[in-house]
């Protein structure tokens, strides 16, 4: 719940702060076209910057140690496994890293041919090679599917929606409260505008977070299926997910949570479906006739 609260609170805080700044400066009080342009710039600006910095921030925030030259057999095996899956997926070899922490893994990067795949020491200590291989395949599938860019675009669209709609509604409410009389505040707005924008930013921000989380959950099914396809069977991915269900897994920071192998489950704001649901989807995949 703490991660979910921080996820929602952070997104709302960004929208509220940007909204107040633009409202005070009068940037958002021009034509509807100007308002839409401003909303697009604000909506996609933050998510795009986050995407471009995602790999650098992941390395720093998670303490990822890049494997430039494997120092032991385990590191060599991890690199070889990532290379095997990236070749099968038709993407360039991602950077590979290890970080200290409970069982988890993630993939990130601004482009599928310049990505990072990292696994935790807890994952390496808690799973068999076959299960770790499935987890790595899942992360490489995220990269091959272009999920980082997709989530950035979805987040940008949602941010734009929040910014634009809240200011349109704010203008309507403010005009109504002032009786459509602008003579007392020529060219400006009243307190009703600021209050309405603030409230709408929060309410629509929550709705946007729910929609983004729903899209994130759909990506997980695709990544699971991608790992199963590259391995030629779904059993390893099922066993890896089942083992994760009994492991004290780590919650990743907000910017990486949607790219990890595990996450909070059973909530509208969860970036991952319940592990049981993912296992059931893989079982159904196994039952489908192969072409």
Annotated catalytic residues are 139
CB atoms within 10 A of CB 71: 10
d(CA 134, CA 130): 6
Q: Which residues contact 139 (CB under 8 A, 6 or more apart)?
A: 105, 106, 107, 117, 223, 259, 261
Cβ atoms of 216 and 151 within 8 Å: the answer is yes
For the record, the structure tokens of 248 come out as 């004290």
d(CA 201, CA 72): 51
Q: How far is CA 112 from CA 49, 117, 119, 148, 154, in A?
A: 17, 11, 18, 8, 17
* Closest by CA position to 8, among listed 191, 268, 200: 268
For the record, the structure tokens of 187 come out as 């060219």
């Amino acid at each position: 719940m703490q991660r979910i609260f921080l996820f929602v609170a952070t997104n709302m805080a960004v929208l509220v702060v940007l909204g107040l700044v633009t409202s005070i400066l009068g940037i958002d009080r021009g034509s509807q076209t100007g308002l839409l342009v401003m909303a697009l710039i604000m909506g996609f600006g933050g998510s795009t910057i986050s995407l471009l910095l995602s790999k650098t921030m992941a390395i720093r925030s998670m303490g990822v140690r890049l494997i430039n030259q494997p120092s032991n057999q385990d590191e060599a095996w991890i690199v070889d496994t990532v290379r095997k899956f990236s070749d099968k997926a038709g993407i360039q070899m991602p950077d590979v890293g290890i970080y200290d922490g409970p069982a988890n893994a993630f993939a990130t990067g601004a482009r599928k041919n310049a990505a990072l795949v990292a696994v935790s020491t807890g994952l390496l200590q808690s799973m068999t090679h076959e299960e770790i291989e499935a987890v790595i395949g899942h992360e490489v599938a995220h990269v091959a599917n272009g999920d980082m860019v997709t989530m950035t675009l979805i987040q940008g669209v949602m941010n734009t929606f929040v910014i634009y709609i809240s200011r349109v509604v704010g203008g309507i409410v403010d005009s109504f409260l002032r009786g459509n009389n602008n003579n007392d505040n020529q060219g400006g707005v009243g307190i009703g505008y600021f209050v309405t924008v603030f409230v709408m930013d929060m309410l629509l921000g929550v709705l946007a977070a729910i929609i983004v989380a729903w899209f994130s959950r759909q990506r997980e099914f695709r990544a699971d299926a991608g790992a199963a396809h590259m391995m030629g069977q779904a059993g390893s991915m099922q066993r890896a997910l089942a083992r994760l269900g009994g492991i004290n897994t780590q919650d990743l920071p907000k910017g990486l949570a949607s790219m990890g192998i595990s996450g909070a489950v059973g909530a509208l704001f969860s970036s991952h479906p319940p592990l049981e649901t993912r296992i059931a989807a893989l079982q159904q995949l196994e039952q489908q006739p192969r072409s």
